[in-house]
Amino acid sequence: MNINPIDDTVQVELVTILDPFTSYSNLEINANSAAFINMYFDLIETKRRELEAKIRKNFSAEEIETLYKETNEEIVSLSRDFFTETAGGTNRKGMTDWNEYIYSRLQINNLQLFRVTFKY
């Protein structure tokens, strides 16, 4: 997040960045893992959009910073749940539930996009 107070206005830029120097995955690359990875980024995008909608109101730079910190805490919790429930793309129920969560917010169906199948 970049905050630029200008006179009586606060300009905010929100972006999601993957840091390739601190990110890694040992997942076998297949349709399930590709959907899993994409779903994770979509989850983060849902939170970014929620934050963006909140800060469209007239908040001070300090209030926006607080909202940003709260959103990051929500992302940590959401990520933990997502990783646990999807088991890296192998848990049918978790993947289906999270896919529905994402679809309801972004209209993206990762299971369909990546042609995900489950062994059980």
Question: Measured between alpha carbons, how far is 81 from 16 in angstroms, rounded to an integer?
Answer: 20
Q: What percentage of residues in the chain have a pLDDT greater than 90?
A: 67
* Nearest partner of 99 among 21, 22, 43, 59, judged by Cα: 43
- pLDDT (0 to 100) of residue 59: 83
6 inside domain: no
Task: Establish if 103 belongs to a structural domain.
Answer: yes
Q: How far are the Cα atoms of 47, 55, 62, 86, 113 from residue 30, in angstroms, in the given order?
A: 26, 38, 43, 15, 13
Residue 61 lies inside a defined structural domain of this protein = yes
58/72: higher pLDDT:
72
Q: Is residue 20 part of a domain?
A: no
Segments forming the whole domain that contains residue 104: 31-113
Q: Domain count of the chain?
A: 1
Give the pTM: 0.86
Q: What is the pLDDT of residue 10?
A: 82
Per-residue pLDDT reduced to its tens digit, 82-95: 999 999 999 999 99
pLDDT for the residue 120:
66
For residue 17, tell me if it sits in a domain.
Answer: no
Per-residue pLDDT at 74: 97
* Per-residue model confidence (pLDDT) at position 20: 65
